[in-house]
Chain A
Amino acid sequence: MNIYWHKVGDDAKVLYIDGNLQFDSRDEAVYHESLALPALCLADKPQSVLICGGGDGLALREVLRFPGITDVTLIDCSPEVLDLARSEFAELNAHSLEDSRVKVVVADALEYPFESSRFDAIICDFTFPTTQESAQGFTVEWYQKLKHALRPGGMIAINSVSPQNTPAAFACIVATVKASGLFTLPYRVCIPSFRDHGFGAWGFILASQSQLTIKRLQAIQCPVPTRQVALGSLEKGAHFSDKDRAGFHFAPVNRRENPVLQRLLLDPEIPGRDAKVIPPPEFPHLIDHLEVNHPYHSRAMIETLAEQIAGSLKHIDLHKLVVELSKRAKLLPQRILEELEILRSYLASTVLDLEIWGKWAARLFATVLIVMTIANSISPDPAFAKGHAGLGHSSFSRGFSEHESFGGGVSTRVSAPISSQGFRSTYGYDPVDIYGYHYTPRVYIYNDYSGYGGGGGYSGAGGSRGTQPTNGHQPHQTMGHKPLFVLDDDLVAMDNGDFVVSLSENAILVVSQGAVNLVDVKTGKNLVPVFAEPKLFSEIRAEVSSQAGDLDHEVAVRRDWLSWAGWTSEFFGTVKADNAEYLNLQDLKRRLGGAVKKLGTSSESNVINLEDGAIELFVGCHILSDNRIALYGPGGKVSTSDGTSMVLPSGHKISIDPDLKAALVSVMKKMIKESDQDIASDQTDLQSLQAEQSSTENDLREYQNIQVQNSYDPGYEVDYGTDSIPVEQAIQQTQADLASIIQEQRQLQQSIAANQEHRSRFASALESWSS
């Protein structure tokens, strides 16, 4: 037996025997009052008491406090503990061992001969059964011996194990006491120091030769005051679940011939009723030689307990062990497959637990998360095509695009999904393009021939049509209209469903209801109806259709997202904005559909061809070779003007409307400006091509020199770009490259010449009109 005790603070003392906590003086009264007093209270006039174990004298102290006690026999096998009780713990146990009523016997209680019906109360205060030897104090044979020594009406109190941490072992002890022919009343008490040491709630058992009920415990009346326990409340700890109570009946009985208690203590995982299934019975005799350990051993304690290891080894019955192993060895040849099968299934059931799945699932989850994060960083959105072919500068006004029609926004059309915030925040207030960029709002003033209001949207083709203008001077309601959606640099869809093509700062074309009108954007004056060329309508329709397809995709993406997270919009502002964006996109799609319906189709069936020497200023407006301007109206009827007068289709000659003249002049200026820009751009490209041509010619000469120098080796390889190819092949490819460069130069030169020609014509016409 290994004994270790130490002081905590000034007064507290803690005792361990064989590594197991015996008491902590700060709460030992909870333990000893709960153990001794209920038995004494329920016994019939107790006078003679037996205490087995309990050499520290603390249970004895409680017994001696009880009135009517005449003699107490304390049997403990450890003289060291008894010495401590007389010295270090004497004050704590109130010098109980020196009481004249006490007879102390140093002996093994299990072997001590008791007289029949000698004691009124028996208190078993054995240490925790760490070894099979110490577990002998919990066998049915021992309890039968106690029953024999108990007087009728007497009571036995048994210190047990934790019903919380080792329910199977506790049930086993209860079942063992029952098997001895005693009635039992198990109960549990929470002892702070025990709980801190990992024992959980601690279990005690009252046993008697007559029936014991919880009511008796509930009605207990203690004649002496208690310090740390209210005995009346002990009955609360006597209530056990159906499963636990079933365990008390079904648990195996701990016998000397069939000791099972230690196995149940070694495998505390077996819960309650399952304690019936004792783990692998193939190795019971090996397990019996293992000791029960606890996780709370401190360094100092381990050092002190080191001697116990040697002691434990001494206690192993090697002869018995070898005999058992020999028995197993004899059986192995016949049962080797079965043995291996058992081992395999045991390992499988032990190792392949679902916890492994849980661990791997967590690892898989983490891996997926990391891969997705990295993938998202490398390639944020491979799902979207980056090369969408929009109309770009293919202008509806035949090249009269204006890069900064609305200013502020980035209108470079590289196809991408909606990447800016326009549809989340400014849609409906500022014009927005398909990428979500918003533009500085600009109000267009013109007559609303459709009769639809400009501010509150429109209902597509469902509204009534207004009167179609027949000339540019018909008075009508002039209103300001806001652009809703920017389709291209110079094409916008208006909030009332019209389409507007920007020609210059002064002039726009309003395309709606199958008609095209030239409008002075500053005054809103309808200058002149223009020939509604069918191609213009089909191109607008195609552009809207293309972008509506993009919108469909974006709407679907947001619908998918909101199907996951839509319900959180009340909690997260960003989801609320996602929802607003989704609704705005749907609204835009609906409005574009209405606008296309309102656009209608051109009633014109003819195509107007350019006269010789004429160039197009915008759709339905040509500059003739003599710098006059031909304006084609509905039905292809043409009016011509030299900037001063205007010849109507009827042949009448009138003065030109100054506003019309100003609008046409502004378009010409715009054209000159754009032509200059195109020429400058082409010239820059041409210079690059010329440099490239020079470099390519150098490469060609070099390849030809190499070919001459290595004429003996036709397969001689040279660097070509990042490849190595035969020199002959390099020469051929370089010559092809050179031809391609020269061809591109020719095309650019032709383009420059054409632009210069156009510029010259525009400049000439502008000069003529200005004069």
Chain B
Amino acid sequence: MSSNEVQAAHEAIDRGDIDGALHHINNLSIAGHAREVDELQRRIWQLNQRARQRNLNLQVYAFATGVLGYALLSTQSPAAWGPAVWGVIALVAIPVMVGIFAGNSLIGIEKSKRFWRSFFIAGGCIGLYTLIGMALSRSKMESADKSMDVVIFLAVMLVHSLVAGVVAGFTGTLIQIKARAI
């Protein structure tokens, strides 16, 4: 019985079926097979570490996607892109890509965490892009009354970040490209 459980647990780990493996481990734990449980839990921990490394990579990809995307977008002003094209790229395309990376880096974790992780990466990137873009654009207008600039910058940045963040968040929450078993 116990050898079957151990075998089944190992096979489940090989498949990447953590829930299944834990079920067998639980049975072994009740039966008092501490040494086997330790070994199996160590394998799961290693599996978990690799998954964490993969997750970390995906989060870096998400951040890099955001930075590169908005860096490319900043080659010309929103007006030069045209409102529709700019809106689609800045508020939909890039956040969706960020969301796919960031959200899928946390498969198996609660949706709320995946949402907020995607939200903050996309929102942070577009916020920085907006702030720099606005500051550069504003610096060319000498005749303007700049007393409210900080508030305007923050307001626009906040709205852009919210929109892009929500798009990325829902993308990261709803679109799951299941990772292959490690």
Contact = CB atoms under 8 A, between A and B. Distances in A.
Interface of A: 140, 175, 179, 243, 249-253, 255, 257-258, 260, 271, 276-282, 284, 342, 345-346, 348-349, 352-354, 357-358, 361, 364-365, 368-369, 372, 376, 380-381, 383-384, 416-421, 423-424, 436, 556-565, 568, 571-575, 577-578, 581
Closest 6 CB pairs of A and B: A563-B79, A563-B78, A560-B77, A419-B142, A258-B34, A276-B22
A189 to B, nearest CB: 25
Interface in B117-138: 117, 120, 124, 128, 130-135, 137-138
A277 B53 contact: no
A571 B152 CA distance: 9
Contacts of B128: 361, 364-365, 368
Contacts of B86: 563
Contact of B137 (A251, A349, A560): A560
A374 to B, nearest CB: 12
Nearest to A179: B30
Interface stretch (B43-51, B91-99, B173-181): B43-51
Given A361-B124, A561-B137, A277 B18 contact: yes
B72 interface: no
A568 B156 contact: yes
Contacts of B49: 342, 345-346, 349
B77 A252 contact: no
Contacts of A372: 132, 135
A519 B137 CA distance: 46
A21 B42 CA distance: 35
8 contacts: A252-B29, A257-B32, A258-B32, A345-B50, A368-B132, A562-B79, A565-B134, A572-B148
Contacts of A353: 56
B147 interface: yes
A563 B77 contact: yes
A253 B31 CA distance: 10
Nearest to B132: A368
Contacts, number: 163
A358 B102 CA distance: 14
Contact of B144 (A253, A571, A578): A578
B63 interface: yes
A611 B167 CA distance: 80
A284 B30 CA distance: 18
A276 B25 contact: yes
B11 interface: no
A321 to B, nearest CB: 17
B46 A561 contact: no
B143 A381 contact: no
B135 A421 contact: no
Contacts of B131: 365, 369
B134 A281 contact: no
Contact of A252 (B19, B25, B46, B134): B25
Contacts of A368: 128, 132
Contacts of A369: 131
B138 A253 contact: no
A365 B123 CA distance: 13
Given A252-B29, A368-B132, A280 B142 contact: no
B156 A564 contact: yes
A52 to B, nearest CB: 23
B34 to A, nearest CB: 4
A474 B141 CA distance: 48
B152 A277 contact: no
A574 B145 CA distance: 6
Contacts of B144: 561, 574, 577-578, 581
A417 B25 contact: no
B139 interface: yes
Given A354-B59, A358-B120, A380-B142, A258 B137 contact: no
A426 to B, nearest CB: 12
Contacts of B41: 277-278, 281
A140 B32 CA distance: 11
A257 B34 contact: yes
Given A252-B26, A572-B148, A578-B141, 4 more contacts: A345-B52, A354-B59, A361-B63, A365-B128
Contacts of B1: none
Nearest to A272: B110
Nearest to B46: A342
Contacts of B142: 380-381, 416-419
Given A418-B142, A574-B145, A564 B22 contact: no
Nearest to B40: A281
Contacts of B46: 342
A383 B141 CA distance: 11
B19 A250 contact: yes
Nearest to B21: A276
A347 B79 CA distance: 47
Interface string B11-42: 00000001100110110011010100110011
A281 B42 contact: yes
A420 B143 contact: yes
A284 B83 CA distance: 59
B50 A561 contact: no
A577 B128 CA distance: 26
B78 A417 contact: no
Contacts of B146: 574
B143 A424 contact: yes
B151 to A, nearest CB: 7
A249 B144 CA distance: 66
B68 interface: no
Contacts of A346: 49
Nearest to A243: B110
Given A282-B42, A417-B142, A568-B152, A258 B29 contact: yes
A264 to B, nearest CB: 12
Contacts of A342: 46, 49
Nearest to A574: B145
B141 A557 contact: yes
A368 B138 CA distance: 16
B8 to A, nearest CB: 15
Given A358-B120, A557-B137, A578-B141, A349 B56 contact: yes
B182 interface: no
B155 interface: yes
Contacts of A348: 53, 56
A420 B41 CA distance: 73
B140 A557 contact: yes
Contact of A250 (B22, B63, B130, B147): B22
A572 B78 contact: no
Contact of A258 (B19, B37, B63, B83): B37
A724 to B, nearest CB: 41
Given A572-B148, A574-B147, A577-B145, A376 B23 contact: no
Given A342-B49, A361-B124, A581-B143, A565 B156 contact: yes
Given A384-B140, A560-B77, A253 B38 contact: no
A381 B140 contact: yes
Contacts of A578: 141, 144
